[in-house]
């Protein structure tokens, strides 16, 4: 019986091809937008999650500012006293700090503003720093303790012609604030354009250039084996609060474990993603209204047919089901087309991003749940949109319907 309803619905949709296509446009656009947004968002979230997992669960990050969103905007910096307090905290294995500043660097007759990052070069600090930032040398060598006027550059600095047309290579000389540095290594692509555009030098040398004698922009901490990382983070927070003479809730610094950072970024991703999905859903609502309008027109056009069906024994529930399924079929067909268009668009964006960006930042995650869910959602929207017209058709009296012209 259900198959007959669907067969009748497809027959009517094929009979009115132009109207069917025009009606489905809103659903197609809406579903395509939702599928592409969710698939790309999920792919990006998977990439970020993988990077956090690479950092390790025993790492803690301390930054100035009362929250993750205020990082980089805080007036109060971290300093050597904070470093000493953190180092003495129970459960802390190692602590290391970094400083950075946006400075103009020069290469031959070209110049570009980018971040110059001062990093510690002792073995323990370097190991933590590299694991947190996922640093790997592509070619050349890494910085080592004792290096002064040498630099390691990000992948974009070496390869992106939009930064230096002539290209920076091993042995090239670049100038930072009037001081010449020799390029000794190029990093593999990190997947973050800001990091890939950065230049990395000895922290002691950077202090001379930045005129920064003891402040830090960020601390990285490794917890001791056997200690609960969250408890160590809480102890660091308490110690810094006491050292800075601050009350609970008045912190001008932010202590985050790797897991907390992952959750924070996940929350931000979710908010942005749901906001975009909400905008895209407007098209689905418009499509639903279009289906409702089409079904009302269809009921009027088939009033006489409804009268005949009722005269030969069709029940109100049969008429209701007939039009509801036809409306649902309109939504489902639009959903299938939208799913294909959205999935194709997401894959196209992935390909374009792969060629345009220095890393595979965007990967479309087209899971079965997403694709099937999109079609089912479109089917439900169609059925809901056709409910009122179907109810009107079901309530028609056979005599009145047969007299309609």
**Could you tell me which of 56, 82, 58, 97 has the C-alpha nearest to residue 231?**
58
Residue after which a domain boundary falls, among 200, 217, 251: 251
Q: Three-state DSSP class for 379?
A: helix
Contacts of 162 (CB under 8 A, 6+ apart): none
Asked if the structure places residue 39 within a domain, the reply is yes
Looking at the fold, whether 91 and 196 belong to one and the same domain comes out as yes
Looking at the fold, whether 241 and 314 belong to one and the same domain comes out as no
pLDDT at 73: 47
Looking at the fold, whether 239 and 107 belong to one and the same domain comes out as yes
Total Cβ atoms within 10 A of residue 176: 20
Looking at the fold, whether 123 and 233 belong to one and the same domain comes out as yes
Asked if the structure places residue 257 within a domain, the reply is no
Looking at the fold, whether 214 and 342 belong to one and the same domain comes out as no
Q: Is 249 left (phi over 0), alpha (psi -120 to 50) or beta?
A: left
Domain count, the chain: 2
Residue after which a domain boundary falls, among 190, 222, 251: 251
Asked if the structure places residue 71 within a domain, the reply is no
Looking at the fold, whether 90 and 238 belong to one and the same domain comes out as yes
Looking at the fold, whether 215 and 306 belong to one and the same domain comes out as no
pLDDT at 404: 55
Count how many Cα atoms sit within 13 Å of the Cα of residue 88 in the half-sphere of its side chain: 10
pLDDT at 56: 61
Looking at the fold, whether 153 and 291 belong to one and the same domain comes out as no
Looking at the fold, whether 232 and 323 belong to one and the same domain comes out as no
The boundaries of the domain holding residue 395 are 2-51+263-403
Asked if the structure places residue 20 within a domain, the reply is yes
Q: How far apart are CA 222 and CA 58, in angstroms?
A: 6
Asked if the structure places residue 95 within a domain, the reply is yes
Q: How far apart are CA 48 and CA 261, in angstroms?
A: 11
Asked if the structure places residue 136 within a domain, the reply is yes
Asked if the structure places residue 303 within a domain, the reply is yes
294 in Cβ contact with 330 (< 8 Å):
yes
Looking at the fold, whether 344 and 312 belong to one and the same domain comes out as yes
Looking at the fold, whether 242 and 275 belong to one and the same domain comes out as no
Looking at the fold, whether 235 and 119 belong to one and the same domain comes out as yes
Q: How far apart are CA 211 and CA 143, in angstroms?
A: 22
Nearest 5°: CA angle at 365, between 362 and 366?
140
pLDDT tens series, the chain, 405 aa: 566 666 666 666 666 777 778 788 888 888 888 888 888 887 777 776 666 666 667 788 888 876 554 444 445 678 888 989 998 999 888 888 888 888 888 888 888 888 898 888 877 677 776 666 667 788 888 888 888 889 888 888 888 777 887 778 898 898 888 889 999 888 888 767 777 888 899 888 888 888 887 889 888 888 888 888 888 888 999 999 988 888 888 888 888 887 777 777 777 777 877 887 888 778 788 888 888 888 887 777 777 777 777 777 777 777 777 778 888 888 888 889 999 998 888 888 888 877 765 555 667 778 888 888 888 988 888 888 888 887 877 777 766 666 655
Residue after which a domain boundary falls, among 218, 251, 284: 251
Asked if the structure places residue 240 within a domain, the reply is yes
């Amino acid at each position: 019986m259900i198959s007959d309803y669907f067969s009748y619905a497809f027959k009517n949709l094929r009979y009115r091809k132009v109207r069917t296509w025009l009606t489905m446009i809103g659903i197609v656009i809406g579903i395509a937008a939702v599928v592409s947004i969710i698939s790309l968002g999920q792919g990006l979230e998977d990439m970020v999650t993988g990077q956090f997992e690479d950092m390790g669960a025993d790492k803690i990050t301390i930054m100035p500012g009362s929250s993750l969103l205020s990082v980089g905007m805080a007036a109060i910096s971290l300093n050597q006293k904070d470093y000493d307090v953190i180092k003495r905290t129970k459960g802390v294995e190692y602590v290391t700090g970094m400083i950075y500043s946006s400075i103009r660097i020069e290469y031959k007759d070209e110049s570009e503003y980018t971040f110059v990052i001062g990093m510690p070069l002792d073995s323990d600090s370097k190991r933590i720093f590299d694991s947190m930032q996922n640093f790997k040398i592509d070619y050349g060598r890494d910085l080592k303790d004792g290096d002064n006027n040498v630099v390691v550059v990000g992948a974009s600095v070496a390869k992106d012609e939009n930064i230096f047309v002539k290209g920076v290579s091993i042995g090239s000389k670049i100038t930072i604030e009037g001081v010449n540095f020799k390029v000794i290594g190029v990093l593999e692509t990190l997947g973050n354009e800001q990091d890939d555009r950065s230049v990395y030098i000895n922290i002691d040398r950077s202090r001379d250039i930045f005129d920064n004698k003891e402040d830090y922009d960020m601390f990285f901490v490794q917890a001791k084996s056997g200690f609960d990382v969250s408890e160590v983070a809480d102890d660091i927070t308490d110690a810094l609060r006491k050292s800075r003479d601050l009350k609970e809730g008045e912190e001008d610094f932010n202590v985050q474990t790797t897991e907390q950072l992952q959750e924070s970024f996940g929350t931000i991703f979710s908010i942005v993603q749901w906001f975009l999905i909400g905008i895209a859903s407007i098209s689905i609502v418009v499509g639903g209204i279009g289906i409702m309008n089409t079904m009302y027109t269809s009921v009027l056009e088939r009033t006489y047919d409804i009268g005949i069906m009722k005269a030969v024994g069709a029940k109100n529930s049969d008429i209701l089901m007939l039009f509801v399924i036809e409306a649902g079929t309109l939504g489902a067909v639009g959903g299938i087309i939208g799913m294909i268009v959205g999935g194709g668009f997401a894959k196209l964006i992935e390909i374009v991003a792969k060629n345009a960006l220095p890393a595979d930042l965007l990967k479309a995650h087209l899971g079965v749940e997403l694709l099937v869910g999109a079609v089912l959602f479109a089917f439900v929207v169609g059925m809901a949109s056709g409910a009122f017209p179907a109810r009107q058709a079901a309530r028609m009296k056979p005599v009145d319907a047969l007299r309609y012209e």
